[in-house]
Structure 1
Amino acid sequence: MTISVSDPAASLEWYQGLFGLPIAAPQANTIVLQVGEGPQFIAIGGGSSDNPRITHYCFQMDNFDDPK
């Protein structure tokens, strides 16, 4: 999930303080936090938006290509 926020530093502090999520990959304007042992993550992205929001999410499905 990618979340667009107005204050990335405050959001990072909140997510790490509440859930203890480690930083997986700092990038230019985005901080990626690891969620659990798998490929799940939360990306906190700064921007000029005054309207913080979820800008991207995805789902993982087992056997997606199964013809059933």
Structure 2
Amino acid sequence: IVLSTTGIAGPTGVTPGKPVGLFYIGLSSAWGTLSKKYQFQGTRLQNKQSAVNEALSMLKHHLLKYYP
């Protein structure tokens, strides 16, 4: 299983089309690949925490579905 995140936590790093809080989270395993786009609205720390929470939630749901 592979779990990945990338994004702009802020407050710097903004480029055209990539605002602060934009994250992509991906998961891949023998059962397939999933990626999701998220737009968080918090501080740098809150955005990082939100991304981690969503990534771990994605992993949890995948594990419960395919590895019960």
**TM-score, length of structure 2 as denominator length:** 0.31
- Looking at both structures, which has the greater relative contact order when contacts are Cα pairs under 8 Å and sequence separation is at least 6? 1
Greater percentage in helix: 2
Larger Rg: 1
Please report the TM-score for the alignment, with normalisation by the length of structure 1: 0.31
